[in-house]
Chains A and B, each alone.
Chain A
Amino acid sequence: MHSLTPAAELERSPWRDALQRFRRNKAAVTSLVFLIFVTALCIVGPWLLPHAYDSTDWDALKLAPSLAHSHFGGTDESGRDLLVRCLVGGRISLMVGILTTLTSVALGVVWGATAGYLGGAIDQVMMRIVDIMYAVPYLLIAILLVTVLGRDFYLVVLAITAFSWMDTARLVRGQTLSLRKMEFVEAARAMGVSTPRIVLEHIVPNLMGLVLVYATVTVPGVILTESVLSFLGLGIQEPMTSWGVLIHDGAQMLDSAPWLLILPALMLSLTLYSFNYLGDGLRDALDPKDH
């Protein structure tokens, strides 16, 4: 008789297998640890440091980083503590990155899976909408949005979401086209499972690996886009800040106070690298064929 595999191997989901492969990837694990560390630092750091991100220290204008005084990371030309501003800015950048990625990936998955599964004319119409979205210049729309509705954190999220979900939609549609021909989808149809339920319960779980990898590489893109918007003065408003804003301000003081650029740029680029390595690691872990 056919019996189950030994108890030790039981309840091993495809996810559990992937986790084991992921653990063996040192670069990816290091990146993950670093990201958790940076996130924790951004959340907790501003409370622990003695300065507020928006208060001016008149005795310490444009102070270089040093352990000799309480402004370890230096100050800007208004005497605001750079380290606190970097951490507070990190909160905003990471939040924009993660929140926008979640909304844009969710929209892309639902859109792509629906188009791919239904096929035919509906697919054509839905994918032409994606093409149109690609053709629209996003900066123009972002500028319009911000001008009409005013500057707001959630508006930034909305504006970036509106122009970053199409890649996911295309990717997911392609994958769904091959998934819908799988026998288990046909088996589900033969069981009388309705179309929306097939898409959500049977197709989407099979896409999660791909989507997760894609999401991790979307986060840095979104953070960069936020930087661009902020750089153009469309993103986060003073005195609140983000990595993009800090880099923008720092770049203008490069001659007299290079640390104003170096510290936020270092944090941003290390974070972006980490997300990319994490994405690589996840892709390898979730796609056993590559091994």
Chain B
Amino acid sequence: MRSTRRTTDVSTSRLLEVKKLNVHFRTPEGELQAVRDLSFSLQQGETLGVVGESGSGKSQTMLAMMGLLAPNARAEGQVIFNGDNILNLPAAQLNRVRGPKLAMIFQDPMTSLNPFLTVERQMTEVLQIHQNASRGQARAASRQMLEKLRIADPLRCLKSYPHQFSGGMRQRIMIAMALLSQPDVLIADEPTTALDVTVQAQIVALLRQLQQDHGTSIIMVTHDLGLVAGLSDQVMVMYGGRVMEHARADDIFYNTHHPYTRALLESVPRIEQADDALLAIPGMPPSLRNMPAGCPFAPRCGRADSDCQFPAPLSLVTDGAADHRVACHHTGHPV
């Protein structure tokens, strides 16, 4: 019901649509589910922030979308991009999508570049493979992109090897590489986690600038709510492989519904707080091996009661924006 209504009021410029994505892992201890019934859509030029603790399934979601899951993993559902379901694409066709259309920046810039190849060889590879660019053309384009990312002396940079750069520089090179073929969607999996705070701010500013210039859609995976607040149009909070809350960024921050989202927001340190007032969510995220049958957050939730033994469906909130969805028995509104 709701989903059909949503289709009519959102314009048709929907670029990427994920429907009921499930990711399972075959392990010696049996089958584990890392992502459960995940759905969202992304329009051109929009930014989606995906927030969650380690093990919430956010990275596996992104890997599934790129067709990069581990061999023992299986993805079900649909990832519709340009009319194709990426999950079913054969390898050759998939390679025409990822890179030129759907690019990804990885978490650790220190290990994401090949230590034995020059920056030039790694950057120009994308253009040479996908656009049949000549060496000269590819080099010129790489140089321009490095300039855009405000790297001093891009020619010298191209001739250098990864170990000659700092983490921030390498991440910028990674971003330059990902943007080189002007992808429609850029997936950034915790792109600033390995960097120090000032460099983080620079990278975020760069991403925002590049989004304005190219109209790229960005999926920003992070556990840093501050980063999400500054960058995202919509925010999806994940926990235990499920979506807990999904709304426009403003709604998530100013009209928080899910107890988990609230707990996350409260645990963000504030500068005016006293030193000893660092709030943490009690307990640990559940492991995939013993996921609670009901709401995965229930064991750590202050509001949990007997209802929470049953999974809460993702439903519209009782008050607030039309596209604000939450998976909680206490704040949700069954459809």
Q: Is the CB of B161 within 8 A of A184?
A: no
Whole-angstrom CA separation of A120 from B26 in the bound complex:
14
Within 8 Å of chain A (Cβ to Cβ): is B114? yes
- The A101-124 residues at the B interface (CB cut-off 8 A) are 119-120
State the Cβ distance, B133 to closest chain A Cβ, in Å.
14
- Which residue of chain A lies nearest to B126 when distances are taken between CB atoms in the complex? A191
Q: Is the CB of A183 within 8 A of B108?
A: yes
Q: Is the CB of B168 within 8 A of A2?
A: yes
Within 8 Å of chain A (Cβ to Cβ): is B169? yes
- The A1-23 residues at the B interface (CB cut-off 8 A) are 1-5, 9-14
Q: Is the CB of B116 within 8 A of A191?
A: no
Within 8 Å of chain A (Cβ to Cβ): is B115? yes
Within 8 Å of chain A (Cβ to Cβ): is B153? yes
Q: Is the CB of B164 within 8 A of A187?
A: no
Q: Is the CB of B95 within 8 A of A4?
A: no
Taking CB atoms, residues of chain A closer than 8 Å to B98 are 189-192
With A2-B166, A2-B169, A205-B116 already in contact, the answer to whether A193 and B106 are too (CB < 8 A) is no
- Which residue of chain A lies nearest to B94 when distances are taken between CB atoms in the complex? A192
Chain B window 119-157, contacts with chain A (Cβ cutoff 8 Å), 1 for yes, 0 for no: 001000110011000000000000000000010110011
- The B67-116 residues at the A interface (CB cut-off 8 A) are 68, 71, 91-92, 94-100, 103-104, 106-108, 111-116
Whole-angstrom CA separation of A25 from B199 in the bound complex:
41
State the Cβ distance, B319 to closest chain A Cβ, in Å.
41
- Which residue of chain A lies nearest to B67 when distances are taken between CB atoms in the complex? A189
Within 8 Å of chain B (Cβ to Cβ): is A182? yes
Within 8 Å of chain B (Cβ to Cβ): is A195? yes
Within 8 Å of chain B (Cβ to Cβ): is A237? no
With A12-B164, A183-B112, A184-B111 already in contact, the answer to whether A192 and B95 are too (CB < 8 A) is yes
Whole-angstrom CA separation of A184 from B106 in the bound complex:
9
State the Cβ distance, B27 to closest chain A Cβ, in Å.
16
Within 8 Å of chain A (Cβ to Cβ): is B159? yes
Q: Is the CB of A14 within 8 A of B161?
A: yes
Q: Is the CB of B68 within 8 A of A4?
A: no
Whole-angstrom CA separation of A119 from B156 in the bound complex:
38
- Which residue of chain A lies nearest to B116 when distances are taken between CB atoms in the complex? A205
Q: Is the CB of B163 within 8 A of A14?
A: yes
Within 8 Å of chain B (Cβ to Cβ): is A186? yes
Within 8 Å of chain A (Cβ to Cβ): is B117? yes
Q: Is the CB of B100 within 8 A of A190?
A: no
Within 8 Å of chain B (Cβ to Cβ): is A66? no
Whole-angstrom CA separation of A3 from B152 in the bound complex:
7
Within 8 Å of chain B (Cβ to Cβ): is A206? yes
Taking CB atoms, residues of chain A closer than 8 Å to B92 are 194
Query: Looking at the complex, which one of B106, B129, B157 makes contact with A183 (CB distance below 8 Å)?
Result: B106
- Which residue of chain B lies nearest to A190 when distances are taken between CB atoms in the complex? B104
Whole-angstrom CA separation of A219 from B3 in the bound complex:
69
Chain B window 165-189, contacts with chain A (Cβ cutoff 8 Å), 1 for yes, 0 for no: 1101100001001100000000000
Within 8 Å of chain A (Cβ to Cβ): is B54? no
Within 8 Å of chain B (Cβ to Cβ): is A208? yes
State the Cβ distance, B174 to closest chain A Cβ, in Å.
7
Whole-angstrom CA separation of A184 from B105 in the bound complex:
11
Q: Is the CB of A4 within 8 A of B164?
A: yes
Within 8 Å of chain B (Cβ to Cβ): is A151? no
Taking CB atoms, residues of chain B closer than 8 Å to A287 are none
Q: Is the CB of B159 within 8 A of A184?
A: no
Q: Of residues A184, A191, A205, which shows the largest number of chain B Cβ atoms within 10 Å of its Cβ?
A: A191
Q: Is the CB of B111 within 8 A of A183?
A: yes
Within 8 Å of chain B (Cβ to Cβ): is A249? no
Q: Is the CB of A4 within 8 A of B156?
A: yes
Within 8 Å of chain B (Cβ to Cβ): is A202? yes
With A183-B108, A184-B113, A202-B114 already in contact, the answer to whether A10 and B164 are too (CB < 8 A) is yes
Taking CB atoms, residues of chain B closer than 8 Å to A128 are none
Q: Is the CB of A193 within 8 A of B112?
A: no
State the Cβ distance, A201 to closest chain B Cβ, in Å.
7
Taking CB atoms, residues of chain B closer than 8 Å to A120 are 71
With A10-B164, A206-B115 already in contact, the answer to whether A192 and B100 are too (CB < 8 A) is yes
Taking CB atoms, residues of chain A closer than 8 Å to B114 are 184, 188, 202, 205-206
- The A169-208 residues at the B interface (CB cut-off 8 A) are 182-184, 186-195, 197, 201-202, 205-206, 208
Q: Is the CB of A192 within 8 A of B106?
A: no
Whole-angstrom CA separation of A118 from B324 in the bound complex:
44
Q: Is the CB of A4 within 8 A of B71?
A: no
State the Cβ distance, A198 to closest chain B Cβ, in Å.
10
State the Cβ distance, B72 to closest chain A Cβ, in Å.
10
Q: Is the CB of A192 within 8 A of B97?
A: yes
Within 8 Å of chain A (Cβ to Cβ): is B317? no
Within 8 Å of chain A (Cβ to Cβ): is B237? no
Taking CB atoms, residues of chain B closer than 8 Å to A197 are 129
Within 8 Å of chain A (Cβ to Cβ): is B66? yes
Taking CB atoms, residues of chain B closer than 8 Å to A195 are 91
State the Cβ distance, A118 to closest chain B Cβ, in Å.
10
Q: Of residues A183, A187, A206, which shows the largest number of chain B Cβ atoms within 10 Å of its Cβ?
A: A187
Query: Looking at the complex, which one of B104, B130, B164 makes contact with A5 (CB distance below 8 Å)?
Result: B164
State the Cβ distance, B208 to closest chain A Cβ, in Å.
18
Q: Is the CB of A9 within 8 A of B164?
A: yes
Query: Looking at the complex, which one of A4, A13, A206 makes contact with B153 (CB distance below 8 Å)?
Result: A4
- Which residue of chain A lies nearest to B163 when distances are taken between CB atoms in the complex? A14
Beyond contacts A4-B156, A189-B66: 4 other A-B pairs, Cβ-Cβ < 8 A, are A4-B153, A10-B159, A182-B111, A191-B98
Q: Which 9 interchain pairs have the tightest Cβ spacing?
A: A192-B99, A192-B95, A191-B99, A205-B116, A183-B111, A190-B104, A184-B114, A183-B112, A187-B112
List 30 contacting pairs A-B, 8 Å CB cutoff, sorted by A.
A4-B152, A4-B153, A4-B157, A4-B160, A10-B160, A12-B161, A12-B164, A13-B161, A120-B71, A182-B111, A183-B106, A183-B111, A184-B111, A184-B112, A184-B113, A184-B115, A186-B112, A187-B174, A190-B68, A190-B98, A190-B103, A191-B103, A191-B125, A192-B98, A192-B99, A192-B100, A192-B126, A193-B99, A194-B91, A197-B129
